[in-house]
Amino acid sequence: MDVNEVVNAKVISAYVDNLPAESTQYLGPILFPPKKQNGLDLTQIIGNSQQPISLRPTTFDAKPNIRSRIGGLKLQNEMPFFREGIPIFEKDRQELNRAADMNDPYITAVLENIFDDATKLIRGADVVPERMIMQLLSPEYGEPEINIAADDVVYSFNYSPDGSFKKKNWKGLSGTAAWTDHTNSNPLHDIEQAKRTLAKMGHTPDAMILSSKTMTDIVENEKIRPYIISQAAPGAGVVFLTNELVKKFIQQNYKITVLERDLTFTDENGDSKAFFPDDIVTFIQLKQLGSTRYGTTPEESDLKSKRDVDVKIVHTGVAVCTSTEAGPPVLTKIWASQIVMPSFEHLGDIFVLNTNTKIEPITVTSAEGSESGKTAITVSPMIEPGHTYKYKTGASVTAPAYGDKISGGYSNWNGVDEITATTDQTILIVEVDADGLAVKCGTAKIKSKAAV
């Protein structure tokens, strides 16, 4: 039996195409339909748990990352490239040959095992664009960007580098306004305000995306019950608030469909993660918001003409490849690769609400200053336009909450001058907005220049 006749890109792609599409559960293909194009670059981009595993980043000329049966990232034209594969070892080939020669029904199980492994690769490839899209739809601090971490490197793609999205299309709630405060917060008011904000921009949201945990915050809010009871039919008796009842109320009164999203994936470290995070609500129109752009991978452009490599394109832009090395030992490899990035033409049509905003962390470092008793402070990332720094030092310091007014007990700092401070104490740097409200903070152990 020639293994290559039954284990090749064409057969694998046909097998995958005949399976129920797991990606039909995803929002990405609906809001960002897939589109294939040649020569894709960043200038064309606008603004073992049985869960699919996201392909790990790697380099363009690297061999596929081989994982046991149970991708990769480099920038080409600044576009992320993913690749990962699985092996069919000589032992597996011998098992196939033995089963075939004996007309052993075991051959079906062996082939299904191989095809299932290949399916996991392709479904893992489908995770990547969905993960990217959900990141863009749920910016925790108002910065729509895609962050992909691998091998201690984080690649970030910011879709609003001028900060305009955060100013116009994002709001953070904290303190008693946070939806986790079921007594004092008012989710219905916040929903109405989000609608009005988008209406002023000429947009009418008809859906809101959130997790079941965030939905529970709405249901358990004490201000919700009176509204629901007031609309209950006379003689309806005791009204039990359920998710579906509250969703129906929101639909009837605000013309907004609530979309609960709790789908998960397995990340590069083997951890289960949610595509859409808790404490974020995104208001959208159920329409095409952008597109998922697939470029031409090296396998598609360079390997199709090679007789020892078989290549087939599935799911618009995922290249499925098989090859056999003569060895010894003989080794057949199956791998998948893709160049993919969402383009977000209608980024300005959405509004994002962080319903329980935590203060954003910044990295603060302290080094000996140029004079006795002075320390040189550096902060990363850079301060946002219109913001300023405040600081305090002490044996212990307490970080403020997001939105706290920063006044007494703090000193001003211009981000450049050295600060007089005592070695081994702690310095707290707070970034405040134009209203003097805390938005970011970080601490460091002080290192001051010793007296000569």
- Is residue 283's pLDDT more than 80? yes
Mean pLDDT, the chain, integer:
82
Those residues whose C-beta lies under 8 Å from the C-beta of residue 223, and which sit 6 or more positions away, are: 185, 186, 187, 188
Taking CB atoms within 8 Å and a gap of at least 24, the contacts of 438-441 are 438/359, 438/400, 438/401, 438/402, 438/403, 438/404, 438/405, 438/406, 439/359, 439/360, 439/384, 439/387, 439/402, 439/403, 440/359, 440/360, 440/361, 440/362, 441/359, 441/360, 441/361, 441/362, 441/399, 441/400
- Is residue 400's pLDDT more than 50? yes
Strands 153-158 and 331-343: unpaired
- Is residue 63's pLDDT more than 50? no
Cβ 244 vs Cβ 30: under 8 Å: no
Buried-state track 316-330, b at ≥16 Cβ within 10 A, e below 16: bbbbbbbbbeeeeee
What Rg value do the Cα atoms of the chain yield, rounded?
A: 27
Question: Which contiguous run of DSSP H or E holds residue 318?
Answer: strand 318-325
Q: How confident is the model at residue 49 (pLDDT cuts 50, 70, 90)?
A: very low
Can you read off the two tokens belonging to residue 282?
A: 């995104």
User: Which CATH number does 165-290+348-354 carry?
Assistant: 3.30.1930.10
pLDDT at position 201, please? 94
Q: Distance (Å, rounded) from C-alpha 319 to C-alpha 304?
A: 10
pLDDT at position 238, please? 63
- Is residue 62's pLDDT more than 50? no
User: Which CATH number does 360-445 carry?
Assistant: 2.60.40
pTM for the full predicted model: 0.83
pLDDT at position 234, please? 59
Q: Fold identical between 165-290+348-354 and 360-445?
A: no
Summarize the confidence of residues 125-136 as an average pLDDT: 92
- Is residue 247's pLDDT more than 80? yes
Please state the domain extents for the chain. Answer: 3-23+39-142+294-340, 165-290+348-354, 360-445
- Is residue 2's pLDDT more than 70? no
pLDDT at position 68, please? 32
Lowest mean pLDDT among 293-297, 379-383, 418-422: 293-297
Which residue would you say has higher pLDDT here, 101 or 285? 285
- Is residue 54's pLDDT more than 60? no
Q: Distance (Å, rounded) from C-alpha 55 to C-alpha 71?
A: 3
pLDDT tens digit sequence for 165-213: 999 999 999 999 999 999 999 999 999 999 999 999 999 999 999 999 9
Q: What are phi and psi of 79, to 5 degrees?
A: -105, 140
Among candidate residues 363, 372, 364, 365, the one with its CA nearest the CA of residue 448? 372
pLDDT at position 78, please? 55
Q: Distance (Å, rounded) from C-alpha 172 to C-alpha 181?
A: 14
Cβ 367 vs Cβ 449: under 8 Å: no
pLDDT at position 48, please? 28
pLDDT tens digit sequence for 88-113: 665 666 666 665 555 655 556 666 66
